[in-house]
A and B are shown apart, each in its own frame.
Chain A
Amino acid sequence: MAQKKNVLPGFNLSLGYTILYLSLIVLIPLSAAFIRASSLSLDEFWHIVTAPRVMASYRLTFGASLIGALINAFFGLLTAWVLVRYSFPGKKIIDAFVDLPFALPTAVAGIALTAIYSQNGWIGSFLEPHGIKVAFTPLGVVIALTFIGLPFVVRTVQPVLEDLETETEEAAASLGAGRLTTFSRIIFPSIWPALITGFALSFARAIGEYGSVIFIAGNMPMVSEITPLIIITKLEQYDYAGATAVAVVMLLISFFLLLLINGLQWFTNRRNQEFR
């Protein structure tokens, strides 16, 4: 096959570099985990990754991450909407606040959240009399994971909202559509792909989160122990094979979930974006 002339030069070089770079930084370390885990027999592997304590941690990690990402999808969309659509004093500052969870060392965030939500913290002392315990419970884990995931949704939805033409909304209104209809049939379909991306990023970030969670979770086995902590614990006991086995399972589940979300996005995009 004759080589086609490309307008942009350097395709081979840049692709080669990209593959090399991704291999060194991502693929090789990941495959190392699989190789490590393969030193176990299938029985041992199965035994480790299905131990009750580990199973409980999967449920907590993926469940809390999912809830956190869902909360972020809703409130992140709201935040992005407010930041794009309205102007008010201090808007720039609030806009900057959104990035804080990116920048803050997660351990600091964890300690701060624990201090606020513990029995005698600012918020925790109000919730305690109502029987709501946040710190050292799964609820605390959800809060920590929500905190660190917020910027992902805001920052992916914001530019798309900014690009929306207000004219299409005016057109919908002049055709008699109410505000709710305009939002659900005109605005929402346009921001849906970005919202899914933000949700997926927020979800993925939450699954891997360690620093902020371990302080607020209390780490009670079977109740508030996350999978990354189990991995760390195993590592501290020099159980490298056990740690990588759990890590491999986590990787596979994450990969599968992200694939699913991307598939959903691809499905909705196919209708919306193929023709752009």
Chain B
Amino acid sequence: MSIEIRNIQKSFGNFQALSNINLDVPTGELVALLGPSGCGKTSLLRIIAGLESPDVGTILFHGDDATHRDVRERQVGFVFQHYALFRHMTVFENVAFGLRVRPKSTRPTEGEIHRRVRELLDLVQLDWLSDRYPPQLSGGQRQRIALARALAVEPKVLLLDEPFGALDAKVRKDLRRWLRRLHDELHITSVFVTHDQEEALEVADRIVVMNHGKIEQIGTPQEVYDHPSTPFVYQFLGNVNLFHSRVESGKAFIGNLPLEVDAKDESNNSTAFAYVRPHDIDIQKESNIQSAFEAKVIYIHSLGPLVRLELQREDQSDIIESELTRERFLQLDLSIGSKVYVQPKNIRVFLNETA
């Protein structure tokens, strides 16, 4: 079932949690709402679920207006960050709950319920835990049970609120791959909220980057990572170096390196921000035409396939981060204190007005 979100606004007292949100989630897609805490992503998810209602705007499920539909009738599965399992019920009863509370006319028979719950516990690979109680399970197991419970009612939409937020790094990684595979099997329209960019990039078909109650960018992981449309997205997705500069006769500068700017007004006073990813900062031992400035190596972190350098600019106090392949690093023969020339590539400039 597709979800269409039209002009949603929501405020809590004086705090504008969401302003003018428009978003389409096509049937069967796995979409991540990504943003820092307080950006409104959870509010948006709860509005889709019907746990909150928007001040303005409409939600369409499969083309039908569902804005005022009660959460009980929306046919959504909701997975909470802290699992929200019923602790006085066994795992089996937790999963069966959604089936047991159906009105008598649509309630499956006891045998049918048993069959369905077994099936779901098999799906989440925890059938051996069916007689346990939630507090006896590990975090990862609890979240998988919560997922099975949400799937038991055959929801048309699956909504997950920071589903892996409370788990440790290793489990989180396993579980998100598992979620991806599960989604590929079931093809249920899913929206999940996360503040972890790595998680969003790895799992989602599309990413919705949010900040301050607004959508900054919507796109595939590749699009948002390679072509961030705003400075915020640049900074939020991955590491980035920021260079401040003034625009002079249509050009911004990083050190000595001029950059073309398509500024509409030629005013020389507007500020420009240039963003460069650390792996796009190349280093030379000799100055050449593409060198921006001279710098000194102040820190070398050489763990894994990439070597991370911190460079101190000679002309300013700024510190620049650079990532080199191990091969390149050995070839340059760098050590702490080495003088180098910095060559940024793939520079993206934002003028102050867009920042």
Contacts and interface: CB of A to CB of B under 8 A. Distances in A.
Interface of A: 165, 167-168, 170-178, 181, 185-186, 189-190, 271-272, 275-276
B87 A176 contact: no
A63 to B, nearest CB: 33
B38 interface: no
B35 interface: no
B102 A176 contact: yes
A168 B86 contact: yes
B48 to A, nearest CB: 11
Interface string B92-126: 00000110011000000000000000000000000
Interface stretch (B21-29, B75-83, B166-174, B221-229): B75-83
Contacts of B85: 168, 171
B97 A165 contact: no
Contact of B72 (A168, A173, A185): A173
B63 to A, nearest CB: 22
Nearest to B102: A176
A98 to B, nearest CB: 27
Contacts of B134: 275
B133 interface: yes
Interface in B144-191: 146, 149-150, 152-153
B133 A275 contact: yes
Given A170-B78, A171-B78, A173-B71, A275 B136 contact: yes
Contacts of A275: 87, 132-136
Interface residues of B, number: 29
**In the complex, which of the residues B80, B82, B87, B102 has the most CB atoms of chain A within 10 Å of its own CB atom?**
B87
A193 to B, nearest CB: 10
Contacts of B84: 165, 167-168, 170-171
A175 B101 contact: yes
A165 B80 CA distance: 11
Contacts of A165: 82, 84
A34 to B, nearest CB: 41
A181 B149 CA distance: 17
Nearest to A271: B88
The 8 A-B pairs with the shortest beta carbon distances in the complex, nearest first, are: A175-B98, A167-B84, A275-B133, A177-B101, A174-B78, A171-B84, A272-B88, A189-B88
27 contacts: A165-B82, A167-B80, A170-B71, A170-B78, A170-B80, A171-B146, A171-B149, A172-B101, A173-B51, A174-B49, A174-B71, A174-B76, A174-B78, A174-B150, A175-B149, A175-B150, A175-B153, A177-B97, A177-B98, A177-B101, A178-B72, A190-B88, A272-B88, A275-B132, A275-B133, A275-B135, A276-B87
